[in-house]
Chains A and B, each alone.
Chain A
Amino acid sequence: MARGVVATGAEGSATLKWIATIGLLLVVAIPCLFIVVQAIFPEFGSGSFAAPFSMFFKTLADLDLFSLAGNTLLLGVGTVVCAGILAVPLAALRALFRVPGALIWDALLLIPFMLPPYIAALGWIMTLQPRGYLEQLTDIHLAPLLFSVTGIMLIMGLNTFSVIYFVLSRTFETIGARYSDVGRVFGAGQWRSFWRITLPLSMPGLAASLLLVFAMSIEEYGTPAALGRRIGFEVLVTGIENRISEWPIDLPGSATLSLVLVSMALVAFMLQRWLLTRRDYRIVGGKPQAFDKKELGVWALPVSLLFAFIAFLATGLPILAILATALSRTISGGLAPSNLGLDHFKELLGAGSDGLVALGNSLVLGSTTALLAGLLGAITAYSVVKGRGRFRIVLDALSITPNSLPGVVVAVGIILAWNQPWLPITPYNTPFILLLAYICILLPQPVRYATASLHQLGDNLEAAARVCGSGPLKAFVRIIFPLILPSMVTAMILVFAVASRELVASLLVAPVGFQTIAVFIWQQFDQGSAGLGMAMAFCAVLITTLIPLALISLLRWASKGSVAGLR
């Protein structure tokens, strides 16, 4: 650990350290602890400590485990490769050149975050399967590609590549043309300076976002469940989900498999740490930087076409499939004009509809989660990057753990922890339990984003503040926080989008009689009203996209461009 760590000049604030520690203990450590206990003591759900380890080794010795773990690894790596190939060129183009309509592409590429993966997968199935929308329009179908391991990787790559795109384009931009211009002055070609200067300096952003995509894809349930089950491709998370959602329930087995999944993500996390601590990546030194982007010239059209094509695949096609299903009165009626109408939307938005209540619930929960997770995430990342001592690695590891815990396992851990009979007061069976679950599941996102930007922040800024007489807390609030704010806004938008459509944990821990967007959609599918479910999905995507966009415009207007990165 100690080798290669850049000596930091700041000591960090003790208050912030304690906030981070207590917050993480409460939100992450407690549910995780109960999952470990459940894995060891199979009867723990009923409050008994009988027969320790009896199920633990049985699950680990199961031959299925190897194929599940192997498939998980294959899917994770494949998805990262697909997402990387899609994202890196786009991010470089977006950051270093004046791409026509850049803000529009940004907005469009934000939408995959808002699309619940199981809805997107369903959209792809209904488009590409025989007699799907594509065949109804063009007489070809792509079922063999769709129902294959490659197909699952491609679709998951399309769902996740915008994570890399946004982090990386911001990082490339912060590095600016400035450092590579220095290289150019010394005679390097454009490619050479990109490969030797810009790309290496953006390693923190790239590594962080690749890791995030890896962790997201090994934790993702919707797509592998919708596509993989038909071809017998099971991964750890579907194995875990099946053990929990198919009677007879096997809580210890799913807890044990989750521990395997968590250890895989922790290995990826150690790898990322090792990459980050090998060198010094600090590039924000307090000197003013010029943001000069180059012109594309004759390449403007091909580059625009590339953006358009990828944006269509990632955003346009799933949205159109959702809209087509929402507008179809019956699924068997197909795209015939006589079968299309606004019936489902009228039913959804009609007076007394459960849908509107669910929508309101999710928006309140989503925005509260975004604020709290963003704050806790920034404080945690600050304590980890700028603090000292051994506790840092514990905090860091705790903050990434939920990323690899399937939502359903977090849900079980939370129920086990917060429904103990001896607790005098508990958030269980109130909406606060969903807030706890969402913050736990989504905390890794703001932590990753904040860590990446803090790694690029020189200590001289904070040191200067301390010399001028401000305390560590004030230095954080006045200097550090504004500088990482652009990254935090991106992270909080992501948290808002995912929290307002989270399904698997919500299904299990939602208080009695409480509906969220995703639970409502899922129940519509379960009733066989796919059209109504898709109408809700469409409205939800629209709202969760427009609110953050409005927020960004508002911030840009309020800050008049003085906050870097919000231009």
Chain B
Amino acid sequence: MKRLSFAALALGLLASTAAHADVTVYSAGPGALIKNLAAGFTEKTGIKANVFQATTGKVMARLEAEASNPVADVVVSASWGTATDFAAKDLLLSYESPNAETVPDFLKMDGAVAQGVAGLIIAWNTESGTPKPTDWSDLAKPEYKDLVTLPDPAASGGTYTLVEALIASDKTDVLQGLKDNGAIVAGANKAALNPVLQGAKAAVFAGVDYITMSAAAKGETIEAIFPESGTVVAPRPIMILKSSQNQDDAKKFIDYVLSEEGQQAVAKVNLMPSRTDIKVDRPLIGDLKLLSNEGAPAREDVLASFKAIFN
């Protein structure tokens, strides 16, 4: 038993030291997407892609702790802010993929391009016995008293973007209405969705579209509703670290993610592809009414205003 364990560990050690010439990708979820992308990339190019998958926060924490000796070549995050932050710290390799031509300008910057885009929605349980909401402000109505959850903007990049837009367009009364209606702040996206699935709550304010659509596809009685007054999108940047020892293969990985095949894999998990010429059966960026984030205050101030309402 003991010898067997050591043998297995030694094998693992050999396997991972042999892997150093491959592309190492640190990716925020969804896990199925990065798994498919890595497999497809290897099949197409013969280059192995090693994946570390976690939340954006965990990926960032690992990158920060490894900063003196970086391991990752490519990073996929779920928050555009991480890309602008990395660019400001001069950590990113500038690369414009030939496949990024049809990606709209607001989804790319020097050193990063969107892998896909998530939209913010109301996730509503169709069996909850409540009327179907059509706009954010509906959830502050008495029908939804004590029946709404929302993810914490500190933990969910998507919710943060929405709160930021609401503050920028001076619509914080919606948030105050939610608070007065007994809405609870429940951790990250999944923690907010779970009570709605079981029926303890009726709707998530600021749910994430692809998570909700995937749950509905599995047979959960849940619907993703794009609010009438408009919403925000959360582009998911993919970037190459300047410190990468394997930049050519890393560029090939970006090319693959932005290829027709890679973008179809993105669409398969119900995210919006960032290329506009990929046709998918779901509302795309062009179909959405978007709220502006123009003139929003700094991150700490946004979180402080949110905390001032929900506390």
A residues engaging B (CB < 8 A)? 45-47, 122, 125-126, 129-132, 143, 225-226, 229-230, 232, 242, 244-249, 251, 329-334, 360-361, 364-365, 367-368, 371, 408, 412, 415-416, 419-421, 427, 429-432, 435, 507-508, 510-514, 523, 525-530
> B71 in the interface, Cβ–Cβ < 8 Å?
yes
The reply to whether B1 and A367 form a contact with Cβ atoms under 8 Å apart is: yes
In whole angstroms, what is the CA distance A155 to B52 when docked?
33
Q: With a CB–CB cut-off of 8 A, which chain A residues contact B125?
A: 332
Q: Does B195 contact A (CB under 8 A)?
A: yes
- Smallest Cβ distance from B224 to chain A, in angstroms? 13
Residue of B nearest to A367 (CB): B5
Which residue of chain A has its CB nearest to the CB of B48?
A: A513
Q: Which of B79, B154, B199, B214 touches A242 (beta carbons < 8 Å)? A: B154
Is the beta-carbon distance between B198 and A429 smaller than 8 angstroms?
no
Whether, in the assembled complex, B115 has its beta carbon less than 8 Å from a beta carbon of chain A, the answer is: no
A-B contact sample (18 more), CB < 8 A, given A415-B66, A430-B16, A512-B16:
A46-B68, A126-B194, A130-B200, A131-B200, A143-B200, A245-B57, A247-B57, A247-B79, A249-B57, A332-B222, A415-B65, A421-B69, A427-B13, A429-B16, A432-B13, A512-B24, A514-B12, A528-B190
Across the interface, name the chain A residue whose C-beta is closest to B219. Answer: A330
Give 21 pairs: A residue, B residue, CB < 8 Å, sorted on A.
A45-B64, A125-B195, A143-B200, A245-B61, A246-B154, A247-B56, A247-B157, A249-B57, A330-B220, A332-B127, A416-B65, A427-B13, A508-B58, A508-B65, A511-B16, A512-B16, A513-B50, A527-B30, A527-B32, A529-B218, A530-B194
Smallest CB gap from A524: residue in B: B31
- Chain B residue with Cβ nearest A529: B218
CB-defined contacts of B31 to chain A, threshold 8 Å: 523, 526-527
Q: Does B19 contact A (CB under 8 A)?
A: yes
Query: Given known contacts A430-B12, A528-B193, is B58 in contact with A507 (CB within 8 Å)?
Result: yes
Bound-state Cα–Cα, A396 to B184, Å: 44
> Contacts of A45 on B, CB cut-off 8 Å?
64-68
Residue pair A364, B5 in contact (C-beta under 8 Å):
yes
Q: Is the CB of A132 within 8 A of B157?
A: no
Chain B residues near A333: list those with CB within 8 A. 219-221
Closest to A523 in B: B31
Q: How far is the CB of A40 from chain B (nearest CB, A)?
A: 16
Chain A residues with CB under 8 Å of B1's CB are 367
Interface string of B48-84 (1 = CB under 8 A from A): 0011111111101110111111010000000101100
**Known interface pairs A143-B200, A508-B62; A435-B219 also in contact (CB < 8 Å):** no
Question: Which residues of B lie under 8 Å from residue A125 when comparing CB positions?
Answer: 194-195
Determine if A248 and B61 form an interchain contact, defined as CB atoms under 8 angstroms apart: no
The winner among A122, A245, A331, A420 for most chain B CB atoms within 10 A is A331
Out of B12, B54, B61, B199, name the residue touching A431 (CB < 8 Å): B12
Please, how many angstroms separate the alpha-carbon atoms of A529 and B215 in the complex? 8
Pick from B57, B67, B85, B311: contact of A246, CB under 8 Å: B57
Knowing A332-B125, A333-B219 are in contact, say whether A245-B58 is a contact too (CB < 8 A).
Answer: yes
Q: How far is the CA of A511 from the CA of B193 in the complex (A)?
A: 30
**Residue interface bits B184-198, CB-to-A below 8 A is 1, else 0:** 111100110111011
Measured CA separation A247–B195 after assembly (Å): 25
Q: Which chain A residues lie closer than 8 Å to B222 at the CB level?
A: 332
Q: Identify which of A122, A416, A523 contacts B53 (C-beta below 8 A).
A: A523
Closest chain A residue to B125, Cβ basis: A332
In the bound complex, do residue A330 and residue B191 qualify as a contact, i.e. CB atoms below 8 Å apart? no
C-alpha spacing A367/B5, complex, angstroms? 8
3 closest pairs, A vs B, by CB?
A: A245-B57, A47-B68, A131-B199
> Is B9 in contact with chain A by the CB < 8 A criterion?
yes
Q: When the two chains form their complex, are residues A329 and B57 in contact, meaning their CB atoms are under 8 A apart?
A: no
Complex: A219 Cα to B4 Cα, angstroms:
33
* Least CB separation from B78: chain A residue: A247
For A245, the chain B residues whose CB sits under 8 A away are 55, 57-58, 61, 155
B7 CB to closest chain A CB (Å) equals: 9
Q: How near does chain B come to A563, taking the closest CB pair, in angstroms?
A: 19
CA distance A367 to B69 in the complex (A): 31
Residue of B nearest to A427 (CB): B13
Bound complex: CA A244 to CA B71 (Å):
19
Q: Are A412 and B85 in contact (CB under 8 A)?
A: no
Q: Tell yes or no: B308 within 8 A of A by CB.
A: no
Q: Contact between A512 and B187 (Cβ–Cβ < 8 Å)? A: no
Most buried by B among A419, A525, A529: A419
Binary flags per residue of B164-182, CB closer than 8 Å to A gives 1, else 0: 0000000000000000000
Taking a contact as CB atoms closer than 8 A, the residue among B69, B82, B185, B198 that contacts A420 in the complex is: B69
Q: Is the CB of A331 within 8 A of B12?
A: no
Nearest-CB distance from B241 to chain A (Å)?
Answer: 13
Bound CA–CA A125/B54 (angstroms): 24
B2 in the interface (beta carbon within 8 A): yes
Contact B53 A421 (CB under 8 A): no
State the CA gap A263–B55 with chains docked (Å). Answer: 30
Closest chain B residue, CB of each to CB of A526: B29
Which residue of chain B is the closest to A244 with respect to CB atoms? Answer: B61
Expressed in whole angstroms, the minimum distance between the Cβ of A342 and any Cβ of chain B is 16
Closest CB-CB distance, A321 to chain B, in whole Å? 11
Which residues of chain A have C-beta atoms less than 8 A from B233's C-beta? none
Chain B residue numbers with a CB within 8 Å of A225 are 187
Q: List A contacts of B58 (CB < 8 A).
A: 245, 507-508
How many angstroms between the C-alpha atoms of A46 and B242 in the bound complex? 14
- For the complex, what is the distance from the CA of A371 to the CA of B79, rounded to whole Å? 42
Q: Is the CB of B54 within 8 A of A247?
A: no
A330–B16 contact, CB under 8 A? Answer: no
Determine whether the beta carbon of B64 is less than 8 Å from that of A251: yes
The reply to whether B187 and A229 contact each other, CB–CB distance below 8 Å, is: yes
**How far, in angstroms, from A329 to B221 measured CA to CA in the complex?**
12
